[in-house]
Amino acid sequence: MESFLTFSPKFSQLQSHKWSAIPRPAISETLIPPKKMFPSISSAHTHCYPPPQLCCCNTSSSSSLDYNTDSSTKIFIKGLPRSTSEGHLKNAFSKFGEVGQVKLIMDRESGQSLGVAYIWFSRKESALLAVKEMNGKFFDGRFIYVTVAKPRSYKNWRTMAPYRF
């Protein structure tokens, strides 16, 4: 018991001086505006790099994105095998109407398909026909789920795991 009493004051001294060993910076009460440390970028340098673009398989005949971006013309497909390509999806779904764009969702780390894709059609009727004909069908060795895509949610795609049956 007596050894605890001799230890206790030393321990409390350590605790009381614990933060005093760290020096605190002096804070000036006058505000001095910071000097510019970087030169300004002229407008000549801003045109060096093109703006970032979303890379998808655009299958329309013109170079501009002329497909309908209405959510009723976009279908959502899940259950695809990892070996499925955007071109193969375009070929398979073009029998229902003109395909404007195919987007196969890929894992950022591994670069493999997550088994999920979106297909944009030029007409709403084509999208509805594709859903009717392809939902629950056997495609590339797997049964797929096809539906009209819902409006975009702000869910983070990084957390999405590959689709499994």
> pLDDT, tens digit, for every residue of 4-19?
545 555 555 555 555 5
Q: Phi and psi for 54 in degrees, rounded to 5?
A: -80, 125
Domain boundaries, the chain: 67-151
Q: pLDDT tier at 57 (50, 70, 90 boundaries)?
A: very low
Handedness of CA 99, 116, 53, 150 (dihedral sign): positive
Report the run of H or E that residue 78 belongs to, with start and end.
strand 74-78
CATH number for the domain whose boundaries are 67-151: 3.30.70.330
Q: What is the pLDDT of residue 155?
A: 60
Q: Phi and psi for 128 in degrees, rounded to 5?
A: -65, -40
Token pair, residue 48, equals 């060096």
Q: Read off the pLDDT of residues 72-93 as tens digits, 9 standing for 90 and up.
A: 789 999 999 999 999 999 999 9
Residue with tokens 């594709």: 130
pLDDT greater than 70 at residue 153: no
Q: Read off the pLDDT of residues 101-132 as tens digits, 9 standing for 90 and up.
A: 999 999 999 989 999 999 999 999 999 999 99
Q: What is the pLDDT of residue 133?
A: 95
Q: What is the pLDDT of residue 163?
A: 63
- Contact predicate 69/151, CB 8 Å: no
What average pLDDT score do residues 139-165 get? 77
